[in-house]
């Protein structure tokens, strides 16, 4: 159900691959210093690759999205670690909210829905994420959600010859 002007937040399905691809490209073009992948690399991906990337795997990977009407305007992905010794953890990646929705709580709602689902995974104990230190609003949001920093990686990303530091954060789920 849509409320007028309020984004609908839900888990993406393979049918959302085209919208996901376009919104991900927007994110990479608008904030290249916030992502490890480049827009050029993203343009090479097929729809099948995007469908696999956003596939909802029970107890594992999934992507949540914020829709304004039919347009995907925000997203966040969880990737579950699969090796036996790291399966108790996973990583949040690809967080993005379109410029027109920033500052309206959409990022908080996306991540709250994502984290609520993670808390239903009995064997998942912790979730990590990394954020470029220039992304001050995102860093503040993550802290209010309970993430705590555990390290700083100088020069983690290099975009157009400029180095950007990344802060690594963790949230204990149990």
The DSSP line for 122-171 is TT--EEEEEEETT-HHHHHHHHHTT-EEEEEEEEEEEETTEEEEEEEEEE
Residue 2 lies in a domain: no
Query: Residue 125's domain spans which residues?
Result: 8-172
The predicted structure's pLDDT at residue 22: 96
Beta carbons of 67 and 12 less than 8 angstroms apart: no
The predicted structure's pLDDT at residue 131: 98
Residue 27 lies in a domain: yes
The predicted structure's pLDDT at residue 171: 99
Residue 1 lies in a domain: no
The predicted structure's pLDDT at residue 2: 40
CATH number for the domain harbouring residue 26: 3.40.630.30
The predicted structure's pLDDT at residue 59: 86
Record the pTM. Answer: 0.92
Residue 84 per-residue DSSP state: T
Report helix, strand or coil for 30. helix
The predicted structure's pLDDT at residue 5: 61
97 phi and psi angles, rounded to 5 deg: -130, 130
Distance CA 110, CA 127 (A): 15
- Tally the domains of the chain: 1
Residue 43 lies in a domain: yes
Residue 3 lies in a domain: no
Residue 51 lies in a domain: yes
Taking only the tens of pLDDT, the chain with its 174 residues reads: 344 566 899 999 999 999 999 999 999 999 999 999 999 999 999 999 999 999 988 889 999 999 998 899 999 999 999 999 999 999 999 999 999 999 999 999 999 999 999 999 999 999 999 999 999 999 999 999 999 999 999 999 999 999 999 999 999 998
């Amino acid at each position: 159900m849509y409320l007028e002007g309020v984004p609908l937040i839900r888990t993406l399905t393979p049918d959302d691959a085209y919208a996901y691809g376009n919104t991900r490209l927007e994110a990479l073009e608008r904030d290249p210093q916030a992502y490890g992948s480049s827009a050029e690399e993203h343009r090479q991906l097929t729809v099948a690759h995007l469908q696999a990337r956003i596939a909802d795997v029970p107890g594992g990977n999934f992507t949540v999205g914020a829709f304004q009407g039919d347009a995907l305007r925000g997203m966040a992905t969880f990737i579950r670690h699969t090796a036996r010794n790291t399966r108790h953890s996973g990583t949040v990646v690809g967080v993005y909210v379109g410029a027109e929705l920033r500052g309206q709580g959409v990022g908080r709602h996306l991540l709250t829905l994502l984290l609520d689902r993670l808390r239903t995974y009995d064997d998942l104990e912790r979730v990590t994420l990394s954020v470029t230190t220039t992304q001050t609003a995102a860093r503040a949001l993550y802290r209010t959600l309970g993430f705590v920093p555990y390290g700083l990686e100088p020069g983690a990303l290099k975009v157009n010859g400029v180095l950007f530091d990344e802060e690594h954060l963790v949230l204990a789920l149990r």
